[in-house]
Structure 1
Amino acid sequence: MHYLAYVAPADANLALMLKVFPALAVLLVTAAVCGRLALMVMQPRVLGEMVAGVLLGPTLFGWLFPEAQAALFPPEIRPVLYVLSTIGLTLYMFLVGAGLDHGAQTRGEVRRAAVLATSGILPSMLLGFGAGLLLWSTLSRPDVPPFQFALFVGGALSLTAFPMLARILYERGLENSPIGRLTLMAASIDDALAWCILAVLSAMHLGSGAADALPTIGLTVLFAVVMLTVVRRLLRPMGKTVARTGRFSPTHMYVVILVPLIAGWMTDWIGVYAVFGGFLAGLAMPRDAAFRQALHGRMMEIVSTLLLPTFFTFSGLNTQLGGIAGGTMLLAFGLILLAGFCGKYFGCSLAMRGIGFSWRESYAVGALMNARGLMILIFINIGLAQGMITSELFAMLVLVAVLTTGGALPLYKLALPDRLERTTKPESPEPVAAGSNSP
């Protein structure tokens, strides 16, 4: 009996593993193919990976071959894919934070990033809030007050796809250019504020009151301060050692893996998505150029090739585009799309022009900041799970994510062609971008 009791869990684990491996293989192959197709039509690889997840979900694969889709992605493997995808995104944002060249900052860059962030979130929030008030009777659940519904729409539209934006910049070697650093900093601020808004909305909707969100905001600020002061000082000796030897010892690798994972767990526990913990952990890493190069050389390929596509495709598995039908719904969708696009694109473009950039650079940044990607999908999935929004609004915001993200790179290249983009890149680009899974 004892032997049978031991064997049964082992058999169950083996059966689960045999289900996870084929699912991983299929989603990675699909992500690779869609990523290559995206590059062929001058789109970022990451958009293809996002579309791959949607294609593998109920929208297409599940509609054409429901039995095959259910067999390939049974409910019991979803938690495994979720864990892998969250780890992948957290580690990728850790590498993004660690790769930012703080020494290349120009005077007043933080102030300009704050101006850009404000211009990115405030117009989108106001236009989205107004659209939400107009559409409350059409799209809202009856138990959600107009103010909460409108604030949710505004918060969703104010998001910028921080991970997707980072990957676009890495693929083009712009992560340490002036507009690249400004855009990344502003996008991180926008997303952090949007998640604080979601925390307030969740507290209000669940009946605990908006005041209950204040501890989340306060703990997030405290955690950021600790990471960027205490933890950064503790990691300096490791940075000097790695910079001197040019390699990571096994102990160093344990540290650079554990720090972002623990930081992601803590921010998730606080109530802010784990991606911000990973990014803060990256910012706390030593700033030596040799350290950054060695870190990216060891980690970027596996993260961007295996774990990150799992995140993008897994998120798409939960997306079904079937909530838009009829003239009224199409008009509502058009209003939401217009509010989201105009708020980000023109708000950020005018702000960039106001702080001294050319019109071409300003419109380029406006296009990049308008990409929403999967951060909005995470945002609206939480809203749907908590009963704050309907499936119809969910479908509309998914389409907004796809369309604004799909339009980001073409609008960027229209404003800043390759011949002009070269002048915005760092004079001596470091080889860290070579591991960014670029074509």
Structure 2
Amino acid sequence: MGGNFELATKVLAALFVVLAATRVCGRLALIAGQPRVVGEIVAGVLLGPSAFGAVLPGVQQHLFSADVKSVLYVLSTFGLALFMFLIGASLDHGFVTKPAVRQATVLATSGIVPSFLLGAGVAALFYDRLSLPGVTEVQFLLFVGGALSITAFPVVARILQERGLSNTRIGSLTLVAAAVDDAVAWGILAVIIALAKAGDASGAVLTILGAAAFAGLMLTVGKRLLKPLARRVERDGELKPQTLAVILLVVIAASWFTDFIGVFSVFGGFVTGLAMPQNPILRRELTTRLMDFNAILLLPVFFAFSGLNTQMSGLTDLQVLLPLTAIVVAAFVGKYVGCGLTVRLQGFSWRYASAVGGLMNARGLMILVFINIGLAYQLISPQLFSMLVVVAVLTTAAALPIYRLSMPKHIEDAEKWTPTSAEFLPATTRDPAA
């Protein structure tokens, strides 16, 4: 009993430090004109061995001891599953028409393919130096390429929402493309994990088929079974505790099942969110009840856990700077050039092309989820993990400044008055930047 009480005390102390650090750094990021997530990622790194551990190693190790880290890992896993559920539930299916998906898929592909190929190329060059024993070259190339292919849908959505561009031509196109991008990234990760856990191709195929069957059932049968919940919420005008409990039980069960079959729990949470009915009251209630709680408590725990696995001091070595620089350049160029050229070829101006290229480069929280899963399954080393954390910070921090330079206020204001077509076609006659 005494041991449990002592552990609870240590976990509460760690949570206090985590919440204080992420709130302060998040606020500083906003003051600096950056998304809050940039500050929260930096806060996690500061709490790790490179900063806090370098100044007060004894205190850092006591505060984030092995038993405390185990509890933080469980909390962060649930927080990620819940976060991905909310992302899936908040995705507006009204944008997902066939013409919209077709055009956005072209944009997403133009960012995924170059980033993946460049990332895999860099991984091939430094495979012997950066890979772990037991990780095949195919797994390593798939993982690095997949990590660099990610676009942080939540960060893009938040930037566009804050600037009032969510329902504009360029905003809608970018949002759907970011959603397609993330879906592909999770598919790549599912394949990598299946290969890693199964140990052979036949086992991996079974895992992938199981994940596909789960997604198919959830988005058909599960979607129909969840409709009465939306009707109940609409009738009551609010999300009552018993209905919320049922939804959380479904999310937890789906997350457990996908983890059990060899695909990480975030996949179950995301698919369950996609299966939720498109009801405005239900969406509002889920956001009100769960998003703030998750963003204030559980996601900061994930940032801290990521920071505890990040060792920045080793990245200053000249032997490490070369692969680090190559990875950062591959990440930026693949998205910015690939997406920018595609937007330009679709009839938009170079300013719009640059703005979208910058936004699609934001990787934020999503790449952290990706690489934490890789670290948990021992697909990457702590050193490569730290490099990819640097990629997350730099590309996300660059997104908003690039957007602002590309879209001055008078062009942004004009875009808000341009109607959105179902196919996101550029209104070239009204495009002040054309």
- Same fold by TM (over 0.5)? yes
Q: Is the 8 A contact 1:232 1:286 kept in 2?
A: yes
Tell me, yes or no, if structure 1 residue 26 matches structure 2 residue 17: yes
Q: Is the 8 A contact 1:31 1:52 kept in 2?
A: yes
Tell me, yes or no, if structure 1 residue 285 matches structure 2 residue 288: no
Q: Is the 8 A contact 1:367 1:407 kept in 2?
A: yes
2:48 is aligned, of 47, 52, 57, to: 57
User: Normalising to structure 1: TM-score of the pair?
Assistant: 0.85
2:261 is aligned, of 251, 258, 270, to: 270
Give the distance between the partners of 1:103 and 1:73, measured in 2 at CA.
Answer: 45
Deviations 1:191-236 (A, max 9, x none): 2133034226525xx8x23443222222222212111111111121
1:363 to partner: Cα distance: 2.6
Deviations 1:3-56 (A, max 9, x none): xxxxxxx32222211111111111101100000000111110011111101000
Corresponding residue number in structure 2 for 1:73 = 64
Letter in 2 for 1:156: A
1:105 to partner: Cα distance: 4.3
Could you tell me the percent identity over the aligned residues?
Answer: 51
Size of the aligned set, in residue pairs, is 416
| Equivalence map 1:32-431=2 (5 Å) | 32-141=23-132, 146-169=137-160, 172=163, 177-199=171-193, 202=196, 208-384=199-375, 388-421=379-412
1:245 to partner: Cα distance: 2.8
1:63 to partner: Cα distance: 0.6
Unaligned stretches of 5+ residues in structure 2 = 420-434
Q: Is the 8 A contact 1:38 1:47 kept in 2?
A: yes
Unaligned stretches of 5+ residues in structure 1 = 1-9, 429-439
Give the distance between the partners of 1:101 and 1:424, measured in 2 at CA.
Answer: 21
Change (3 A) 1:180 1:338: closer
Give the distance between the partners of 1:173 and 1:223, measured in 2 at CA.
Answer: 36
Letter in 2 for 1:111: R
Q: Is the 8 A contact 1:349 1:365 kept in 2?
A: yes
Tell me, yes or no, if structure 1 residue 11 matches structure 2 residue 2: yes
- Identify which range, 118-127 or 409-418, moves more after superposition: 409-418
3-state DSSP of counterpart to 1:323:
helix
- Identify which range, 413-422 or 75-84, moves more after superposition: 413-422
Deviating above 6 A after TM superposition, structure 1's stretches of 4 or more consecutive aligned residues are 425-428
Q: Is the 8 A contact 1:265 1:274 kept in 2?
A: yes
RMSD (Å) for aligned C-alpha atoms: 2.8
Letter in 1 for 2:196: S
- Identify which range, 125-134 or 51-60, moves more after superposition: 125-134
User: Normalising to structure 2: TM-score of the pair?
Assistant: 0.86
